[in-house]
Amino acid sequence: MHIPDGYLSPETCATFGAAMVPAWYTAGHRVRKIVKTRYVPLLALGSAYCFLVMMFNVPVPNGTTAHAVGGVLVAVLLGPWAAVIAVSTALLIQALFFGDGGVLAYAANCFNLALVMPVVGYAVYRLLARNVALTSPRRAFAAGVGGYIGLNAAAFCTAVEFGVQPDLFKDANGVPLYAPFHLSQTLPTMLAAHLLVAGVVEALLTVGVVAYLQRANLPVLRINHPDVEDDDGVVTQPRPAWRWAWIGMATMVILTPVGVLASGTAFGEDPPASAGFWHHALLEGYDFTGGKHPNVGYLTSALVGTLIIAATLLAGFKAVQLVRRNRQEAVRV
């Protein structure tokens, strides 16, 4: 679902950039208020989780691949605005370091995966989990349905963005200047892959993580649900346990070479020849071995990407804290 450069017109990319600037600003403002300092590592973990999940490609019936994203799970745990920051960070690292998704198309990818997906999915989750105890199985089910619908909403937007390009941008002879796929091709291809395969994977992952947290680490769910009662009618407030989260992330890193097993690439993710200028990433295609040792390249990319994402978010929040502290000291003076 990552749109590479060359498939969207500069006008389209600029439009999505204008749309995402206020979304990023709002997300940053909300996250500073909602995510306390001690929960910043969880936001970094959420972003790294999205990055790693997107590396697990699964085959779809038409011979290509698709993948889950994890944005709705982050929204359930920390809120939709935190998910905007987490997924946007993961997409930025993918584009700059691994050539996965275009640099010019970055805002469009963020609109689909970092804004539409978590906001739509979280809205569905809230609707289905209304007046439900925090430990109820229905809450995990609601999160899974939210993940399924959120991912497919993002896929629908991506299909439309691809499909309108040939009609809006073509030369004097009617030849498409950018994406050559029409809506009659993009909608069935994208929706079939995500309705039948990727959406199911997204739902199962989301249900599984939420159900696990309900049993083993309820305080993590409590972060975004401070007033929701447990099954016994009380509101517990113990401290979250982080050890198992780090163990889970390490396990995902180790298992990422499984994503290489799926043959082919996702529909529309192969960059056109006109986008070659932008494809000089450090670990292009999640590999540095020239295809000789793809498992090693994929595993190394997973580790490097996870560390970069964590460092980026932690450094960003430290910088924000420093700026706020300096402003407060200036006001007192």
Side chain identity at residue 130, one-letter code: R
Side chain identity at residue 149, one-letter code: I
Which residues 6+ apart lie within 8 Å of 215 measured at CB? none
- Separation in Å, CA 226 to CA 76, 128, 256: 12, 18, 34
Q: Which stretch of 10-19, 48-57, 108-117, 269-278 has the lowest confidence by average pLDDT?
A: 269-278
Is pLDDT of 288 > 80?
no
The confidence band for 232, taking pLDDT boundaries of 50, 70 and 90, is low
Are the C-beta atoms of 112 and 158 separated by less than 8 Å? Answer: yes
Side chain identity at residue 240, one-letter code: P
Instruction: State mean pLDDT over 42-68.
Output: 88
Highest mean pLDDT among 41-45, 58-62, 72-76, 292-296: 72-76
Is pLDDT of 241 > 70?
no
Domain edges within the chain: 10-332
CATH class belonging to 10-332 = mainly alpha
CA distance linking residue 100 with residue 97, whole number of Å: 8
Q: Is 0.75 surpassed by the pTM of this model?
A: yes
Mean pLDDT, all residues of the chain: 87
